[in-house]
Structure 1
Amino acid sequence: MQRNGVKIQKRGWGNKNPSVNRMRGEKLIFILTLTLVIMSELHLYAQNNRSDKTFKISESRGTAYDLLNKISTQTGSLFIYDSKAVDNKKRGRISRGEYTIEEAIRIITQDNSLTIKQEGEYILIYKPQQKTPERVYSGEKYVRMEGVVLDRHNGEPVISATVSPEGGSVGTITNQEGRFRLTLPDSLAKRNIIFSSMGYEQRKVSGILLTENDVTIEMMQSVIPLQEVIVRVVDPRSILMDAIRKRETNYHPKPLNITAFYREGIEYKSNLSLSEAVLKLYKSGLSPSFTSDQAKLLKMRKISTLSSQDTLIAKLRSTINAIILLDIMKYPTDFLQYSGMNMYNYTHTDITEIDGRRVYVFSFVQKEEIMEALFTGELYVDAQNHALVKAIFEVNPNHIRKFADNLIVRKSKTHEVTPVRVKYQVSYKSHNGLYLVNHIRGDLSFKVRKKGRLLTTPLNLWFEMANCKSDTENVEKFLSDQRLSTRDIFSDIQYTYDPEFWEHFNIIMQEEKIEEIIRNYKF
């Protein structure tokens, strides 16, 4: 039967032959019975899920990551392990047989010195270490939690995942390699730590299991029912217009302070210039105000291996202003403005999930007849309250050269600098029922050619901000002599380095290539 251009198949066996239907019915009963038996056994195992209970496994070969994942799938146990104790990439083998979880772990890791500890559904694997010296700063004791967050299915890093204590206003995010470091006051150390990322099931782990260990956390991709993906029809434009109308309902409408970790970097000719800082931001709220957003520098550090000549090629200007304006629900750009929407085509391309809530994914691109340099990307909108929770967008690659004047303020006399890709990412997190900006990142890629030569050299610049703490009470503005000039070159700011402070603040961890440079550098 066909209705409104859509084929609809009537429910039923689809065959009038009773013997065929009976055979199919018997098969279905067998499948259902088998499924119920298997599910009952898994449920029984989960109820008695202790490391001294046995399970059966067929002969298996692979990396430690793959083999532990197989045990996790079969037993329902979730592993958290010290990445210094278990080498994910080390290949191993386990013979067919019946094992306790502890026996299987020791066979896979080939290490009998490991300590294996279970708490609830989690099994922690680590090597005994000497007691870590107490971390004390300004008279308060702190603990550190550090590790990497991986996709359980493919072992890839989960980038920009939020890591925070349950019910707290502090936190951090994972870096481009999935690594994180969370430093908390001792009073928060026993809370559950929540790992959250778009497209993944939220993971909640006791802080006791994470303290002073370098752990590996695996996250499961969310599974959206197929019928919901197929049946649900939504109009992206109308939902985005509703998101704009509900800004003061969904987002914090009043002024607040944000303590943020900020970093920016330049990579050129295998060299690096890196500036990191802790900023205090004054956000004036969504309501009309004569006071603009402000930034105040609390702490800073920087390194540079660029030569003085290379430094003249590129410097990042106005990056603090950029992280203010990239709060696109406070300062909507054209694809989130009623007047600007007419320049874009919007498509509902996917449904995903964050923290158990359905999220629509809308793709957008400028219309073909629009010849100026606009944007293309994806918008993630909560299906229930229509709050924009994430945006990933870039300058349209087809018109990127026209955007050059917006990026290059002062052109070099000796080099030509051409933009290749300009990409931005913004995410929001819910706090006490209202959304706050959580993470902002910009990645700008260029190619540099010395005049008179054919070959080009890649130049990569980036800036990034993570909301580490939000304060909605006793909100303060900053005196004029305390405010940063948001349009200046941030890396040129004079500062005093405080090494003790950086040991106790939540930062976005440096990627391995940056750490390698820092290991050979003294601030």
Structure 2
Amino acid sequence: MGNLIKSLLIVLLAGVPFICQRAIGAEVIDLPDRSFQQNGNLYQDDLKRVVTITRGRATVYRLLSKISEQTGLLFIYDSKIVENDKRVVVEPGEYPLEDAVRIITGNRDLRIKIEENYILLYLPNADKAEPEIKKRDEIPSANNQTQEGGHFAISGAIKDRLTDEPIEFATISVNDKPYGTVSNLNGEFIFTLPDSLLDSHIKISHLGYQSRLFKASLLAGQRATFYLDQRIIPLQEIVVRAIDPTKTIREMMAARVRNYNSDPLYITAFYREGIEYKNNISLSEAVLKIYKTGVIYGANSEQVKVLKMRRLASSPEKDTLVTKIKSSINSSLLLDLVKNLPDFLQPQAYLQYDFSHTDITVIDDRRVYVISFEQKEEITAPLYKGKLYIDAGNWALTQARFEVNPKYVAKATDDIIVKQSRKVEIIPERVEYLVSYKSNNGVYTLNHVRGDLNFRVRPKRKLFSSNLHIWFEMVNCKTESSNVTPIPREERISTRDIFSETSYSYDKEFWGNFNVILPEENLKDFIKKYVF
């Protein structure tokens, strides 16, 4: 199966006393509202612009969409403030834009700001509208000061406009700048930037969707819900374009040096790994500085330094497992597939895999070929199956989603479990990986990696089993290409050790101004209840 699956090793022990290390101290903060200034007469004229409501009974979302069609302006708002599905009755007629919005939403306290092609709806002191205690460890402050100056934060949720479903792992970045983060499994994100980028443009993008671009100052200090439109490729084009999948992969491999960085970079990354078994959660999070070598060098040449770190763990039950993840940082580095070629990208891959062109989609408004692969029927070893997303114009690999073939994943037990108690039987049920890249001025860098490993655990001589979920992910939050030198040996950590056992000093202002992946709902609840 190659180095990837064997690089992430799970240590499982049964009946071992578990000592939970906890740091001391907690702090409650209240995020102040960052008010906006109106843009003079032009802003006032836009608000007085007359719009027509022809249908008086509809949902709030439908009526606001009609205003967008008339004005060419797109609405941005927090769905907790404006109820999309609420049905309202409005007297048909002509209204000033400002009045129409307040009548439709039923909220006279709404503030309205127009900038470029967007209408922002928000409440003054919106963060106080729903009182909530926030620990500094949970959410970064929007106005922390550092030696580099002030910072601001943009937060919210990203959803599909058609289905209203959250969009997971969408990329949020600064247009033509080396900053970024991703949304979590609930589509939520927070993006912290220096004040010097207030006039920059923020881009939200995801595979298969039309990208959105808006000015950072429009949403600084605010929370909003962002809706993305699906980008559909006509069926006729998919049928007409005959794409040779193996040739497409060869083109991608030949273009690696051109598309990906050849010189060393510094990457500031947020990293999280977690273990969930029964009602227990163990979580390790860190901000890492990575010395990342060029595309022609392997992962062994890369170095990692821990800038910030914390561990959280719930108290286990008597019959719980002590589970540890080994080499998770190394696995995250190995998931840079264009540097560390897995077996399905090796020159002889056609001997083990069948490849097919199955779709055409888009990302960042660029056409992307979807190449599916699966091991040949006669091969029964635990190999991979998945999809590669290759840019149709420059042949860059933009994303890969793959898993150990579910038919044979049980055979991978010995490759994954490095040490197992005799008292339990553990069988892998699903092992999945996600890798994405982002382009900055035509050069691609690693953007986000995630691994999800699901197991079934059954104590021997017992009838029932329990689920064990292990995951890790890393997101590239900032890339630097100037004055890049190797990390001093005494500051490096071993990427092959058990990361959760790395020694660290607790910092009550853990997040600071670093970008992070927001935790999902179950992790939020766990973090809120945790006693630091």
- Measured against the shorter chain, the TM-score band is 0.7 to 0.9
Partners of 2:341 and 2:78 lie apart in 1 by 43
Q: Does 1:61 align with 2:58?
A: yes
> What's the offset of the Cα at 1:84?
4.2
Q: Does 1:117 align with 2:122?
A: no
Q: Does 1:445 align with 2:454?
A: yes
Match of 2:439 in 1: 430
Q: Which moved more, 1:471-480 or 1:273-282?
A: 471-480
Report SS of the residue matched to 2:503: coil
> What's the offset of the Cα at 1:395?
0.4
Q: Does 1:384 align with 2:393?
A: yes
Match of 2:408 in 1: 399
Cα separation, partners in 2 of 1:451 and 1:215, compared to 1, 3 Å: same
- For 1:68-217, what aligned pairs fall within 5 Å after superposition? 68-69=64-65, 71-73=67-69, 75-88=71-84, 90-94=86-90, 96-129=92-125, 134-138=143-147, 140-217=149-226
Identity of aligned residues (%): 47
Match of 1:251 in 2: 260
Partners of 2:288 and 2:424 lie apart in 1 by 34
Partners of 1:244 and 1:467 lie apart in 2 by 23
> What's the offset of the Cα at 1:70?
5.1
Match of 1:32 in 2: none
Match of 1:461 in 2: 470
Confirm or deny: 8 A CA contact 1:60 1:96 kept in the other structure.
Answer: no
One-letter amino acid of the counterpart of residue 268, structure 1: Y
- For 1:178-327, what aligned pairs fall within 5 Å after superposition? 178-288=187-297, 292-307=301-316, 312-327=321-336
Confirm or deny: 8 A CA contact 2:278 2:466 kept in the other structure.
Answer: yes
One-letter amino acid of the counterpart of residue 152, structure 1: R
Question: TM-score when scaled to structure 1?
Answer: 0.86
Listed one character per residue, the Cα deviations across residues 459-498 of structure 1 (whole Å, up to 9, x for unaligned) are 1111000001111221121232222111111111121122
Match of 1:345 in 2: 354
> What's the offset of the Cα at 1:413?
2.3
Question: TM-score when scaled to structure 2?
Answer: 0.84
Partners of 1:125 and 1:85 lie apart in 2 by 9
Report SS of the residue matched to 1:259: strand
Cα separation, partners in 2 of 1:213 and 1:133, compared to 1, 3 Å: closer
Cα separation, partners in 2 of 1:412 and 1:429, compared to 1, 3 Å: same
> What's the offset of the Cα at 1:455?
1.2
Report SS of the residue matched to 2:336: coil
Report SS of the residue matched to 1:106: helix
Listed one character per residue, the Cα deviations across residues 388-408 of structure 1 (whole Å, up to 9, x for unaligned) are 110000000000101111111
- For 1:351-366, what aligned pairs fall within 5 Å after superposition? 351-366=360-375
Partners of 2:75 and 2:353 lie apart in 1 by 45
One-letter amino acid of the counterpart of residue 81, structure 1: Y
Report SS of the residue matched to 1:229: helix
Match of 2:16 in 1: none
Aligned length: 475
Listed one character per residue, the Cα deviations across residues 38-71 of structure 1 (whole Å, up to 9, x for unaligned) are xxxxxxxxxx975632123324334x44554454
Partners of 2:148 and 2:484 lie apart in 1 by 24
> What's the offset of the Cα at 1:226?
3.8
Confirm or deny: 8 A CA contact 2:454 2:470 kept in the other structure.
Answer: yes
Cα separation, partners in 2 of 1:56 and 1:144, compared to 1, 3 Å: same
Cα separation, partners in 2 of 1:69 and 1:268, compared to 1, 3 Å: farther
Partners of 1:462 and 1:133 lie apart in 2 by 29
Which 5+ residue runs of structure 2 have no aligned equivalent?
1-44, 128-140
Listed one character per residue, the Cα deviations across residues 318-359 of structure 1 (whole Å, up to 9, x for unaligned) are 100100111010001011111123211111111111111100
**CA RMSD between the two structures:** 2.2
One-letter amino acid of the counterpart of residue 141, structure 1: G
Report SS of the residue matched to 1:481: helix
Q: Which moved more, 1:99-108 or 1:339-348?
A: 99-108
Partners of 1:447 and 1:310 lie apart in 2 by 15
Structure having greater relative contact order (Cα 8 Å, sep ≥ 6): 2
Which 5+ residue runs of structure 1 have no aligned equivalent?
1-47
Larger Rg: 1 or 2? 1
Confirm or deny: 8 A CA contact 1:49 1:121 kept in the other structure.
Answer: no
Partners of 2:417 and 2:97 lie apart in 1 by 58
> What's the offset of the Cα at 1:518?
0.9
Report SS of the residue matched to 2:414: helix
Cα separation, partners in 2 of 1:95 and 1:367, compared to 1, 3 Å: farther
One-letter amino acid of the counterpart of residue 55, structure 2: S
Confirm or deny: 8 A CA contact 1:141 1:186 kept in the other structure.
Answer: yes
Q: Does 1:369 align with 2:378?
A: yes
One-letter amino acid of the counterpart of residue 434, structure 2: Q
Cα separation, partners in 2 of 1:271 and 1:94, compared to 1, 3 Å: farther
Cα separation, partners in 2 of 1:386 and 1:284, compared to 1, 3 Å: same
> What's the offset of the Cα at 1:93?
4.5
Listed one character per residue, the Cα deviations across residues 402-460 of structure 1 (whole Å, up to 9, x for unaligned) are 11111111112222111110000000111222111100000111111111111111111
Q: Does 1:508 align with 2:502?
A: no
Q: Which moved more, 1:313-322 or 1:180-189?
A: 313-322
One-letter amino acid of the counterpart of residue 75, structure 2: F
One-letter amino acid of the counterpart of residue 282, structure 1: Y
> What's the offset of the Cα at 1:192?
1.0
Cα separation, partners in 2 of 1:159 and 1:288, compared to 1, 3 Å: closer
Confirm or deny: 8 A CA contact 1:77 1:123 kept in the other structure.
Answer: yes
Confirm or deny: 8 A CA contact 1:84 1:214 kept in the other structure.
Answer: no
One-letter amino acid of the counterpart of residue 68, structure 2: S
